Amino acid sequence: MNAPADGARFQTEVPFCLPRGYIDAHGVLHRHGIMRLATAADEILPLRDPRVQQNPAYLAVIVLGRVITKLGSVTDIDPHMIEGLFASDFDYLQRLYEELNSAEEGASRPMAGGPDDDGARRSKMRAVGEA
């Protein structure tokens, strides 16, 4: 794949910090993660899932399970894990997903990080190599 003429690269992942965090089966809290841009398949293939056909709201659970690539030390994200999120974290991830995958080129980009990072770790989506 060729880089754009101006030399900038398109960033396809964004770090985030959940407001509350996911608590795994061992009681470990996971708050920091990575979400990637969605592909057409990420939005189309889950429509075939019987859980989505029975309850269209379940689509968000499956899609988030596909686009979140890491949450704390967990790299095998699945719908069951997404189901275990606190409602506030689920809402945060849905909003982040919508902002990250917005078709509007000039739209504001999501702020990575979370409520407790005090701006130090917050960064807007930007092309790799930008200052």
pLDDT digits (tens, 9 = 90+) for 18-49: 999 999 999 999 999 999 999 999 999 999 99
Q: What are phi and psi of 121, to 5 degrees?
A: -105, 0
pTM value is 0.74
Yes or no: say if 15 and 110 are a contact pair by the CB < 8 Å rule: no
Query: Would the pLDDT of 95 be above 70?
Result: yes
Query: Would the pLDDT of 2 be above 80?
Result: no
pLDDT at 10: 78
